[in-house]
Amino acid sequence: MVIFIDESGTHKQVDHATIALVYVEIVNLEEFEKAVEKIEEKLDIKYFHWTDEKWEKVEENIKKIMIDGRKPRWYNQRLKKVLRDKGVSVKKIVTVRKEQSSPGIRVSDCLAGLIRTNYDNPGSLASKWYGRMKKADKIRLEITTYPQKSPA
């Protein structure tokens, strides 16, 4: 099993933050990547990034956890803490420096953006797609909140 992780909304400079963290669990990485690339080619999608256009796990089956490499250090540290708390070895984390080279990161980015947009704009087309995925039991949520730090 390979897991791709991406999030959406951490860059927003608004009065609230909506962050969606998505993980996509893959059994056969090579088959998955070929399928995603075939779909992208059929739809004439070049490079895609969303801004441009209680999870269960079986730790012993996780081979890799791939994350977008453009994250700040604090993000990686917090992610590692969450994974350790869940009993997942952080040695399995692989940083992907270029999204263009990883279909899994692109899919994770797309889903994270879809979920964030659903919560930011409940009447949007994203909400329709989110509803379909939720109804098909393709989306499972575990919500964790961190208290805001008061300005010093």
Per-domain residue ranges of the chain: 2-135
Cβ burial 64-93 (10 Å sphere, 16+ → b, else e): ebbbbeebeeeeeeebeeebeeeebeeeeb
What are the backbone angles phi and psi of residue 70, rounded to the nearest 5°? Answer: -90, 20
Q: How confident is the model at residue 59 (pLDDT cuts 50, 70, 90)?
A: low
pLDDT attached to residue 103: 79
Rg from Cα positions in the chain = 16
Q: Rounded to an integer, what distance in angstroms lies between the CA atom of residue 66 and that of residue 51?
A: 20
Find the range with the poorest average confidence among 18-22, 28-32, 109-113.
Answer: 18-22
Question: Which of 52-56, 87-91, 144-148 is predicted with the least confidence, judged by mean pLDDT?
Answer: 52-56
Q: What are phi and psi of 69, to 5 degrees?
A: -80, 0
pLDDT band at 38 (very low <50, low <70, confident <90, very high): confident
Task: Provide the mean pLDDT of the chain.
Answer: 70
Integer Cα distance of 146 and 99 in angstroms: 28
pTM over 0.95: no
pLDDT at residue 147, rounded to an integer: 52
Model pLDDT for residues 64-101, shown as the tens digit of each residue: 777 776 777 787 788 788 778 777 777 777 777 765 56
Q: Of 99, 106, 98, which is closest to residue 40 (Cα–Cα)?
A: 106
Bridge-partner residues for 113, per DSSP? none
Helix H or strand E encompassing 75: helix 73-85
Measured torsion, CA atoms of residues 18, 24, 25, 30, in degrees rounded to the nearest 10? -160
Residue showing tokens 């059929």:
42
Q: Please report, rounded to a whole number, the percentage of residues in the chain having pLDDT higher than 90.
A: 0
Please tell me the distance from the alpha carbon of residue 44 to that of residue 38, in angstroms, as a whole number: 10
Section 27-53 average pLDDT: 72
